[in-house]
Structure 1
């Protein structure tokens, strides 16, 4: 069955994005390959992730630059699932990640919205054991 391999996140600068996602969020740097014209192929992913990863793509035009930090129009666009919410929340806070709210309990699990270094909104989410990712009634 096909699966989602990469999602693109448009960033202002490769190195600052790598630093944030690796050092603050806790992702692994999977690839950083230099391409022509100063471009790079930069892939990060949560430790142990087997399928989906994030391609960090530097904005190359003014029309791309205006969308850095607003790629989903202000909605939460990414959902970072964890099996140890409190541990990851505390580690991320200590690393300077900005959470918009304290953790809250919802019918689907424990969640808090955080912003990446550009203002894109993410959920840090620990699903209840009886809820599968993408199941109806989850975060939106």
Structure 2
């Protein structure tokens, strides 16, 4: 029997805005984009990691009640969710490429703890830490 995490959901304020950011600026690809009334199931995946999906979901009813949805939107907008990690081969090169596509970084690449990392946020306020992967490096 095989098991593993196949998708992680992320709350976003506007799914079209999030789709544009993740596809056009970060280079993800659309996996699923279907609607059921006002509800939209939207997932993207990194081209180098096709077995994993990132769900871009709007905090809304019927999944959440109205008050909880409003609270969730406020927490995301303030950057209160745990950061996501994006592994890259070369942090400085990825920073230059992504900055050129309009990604706004909250911290440029810095070397610390024997690694290079940078921080950015998506349009909804979700924080990302981009870390230079040490896989295959000695």
Q: Which bracket does the TM-score occupy, shorter chain normalised? A: 0.7 to 0.9
Q: How does 1:27-106 map to 2 (within 5 A)?
A: 27-35=28-36, 37-60=37-60, 61-68=66-73, 70-71=75-76, 74=80, 76-106=82-112
Structure 1 ranges of 4+ moved more than 4 A? none
Equivalent-residue separation in structure 2 for 1:108 and 1:57 (angstroms): 35
Tell me how far apart the structure 2 counterparts of residues 65 and 22 of structure 1 sit (CA, whole Å): 26
- Where does the alignment leave 5 or more consecutive residues of structure 1 unmatched? 132-140
Q: Give 1:43 shift.
A: 0.7
The normalised TM-score by structure 2 is: 0.80
Contact 2:89 2:132 in 1 (8 A): yes
Q: Distance in 2 between matches of 1:122 and 1:11?
A: 14
Aligned residue pairs, count: 130
Range moving further from structure 2, 56-65 or 19-28:
56-65
Q: Which residue of 1 aligns with 2:14?
A: 13
- Alpha-carbon separation, structure 2, partners of 1:112 and 1:52: 23
Change over 3 Å in CA distance of 1:47–1:75 after alignment to 2: same
Name the SS of the counterpart of 1:92 in structure 2: helix
Distance 2:12 2:67 in 1: 12
Output the aligned Cα RMSD: 2.3
Q: Which consecutive residues of structure 2, in runs of 5 or more, have no partner in the other structure?
A: 61-65
CA distance in 2, matches of 1:33, 1:69: 26
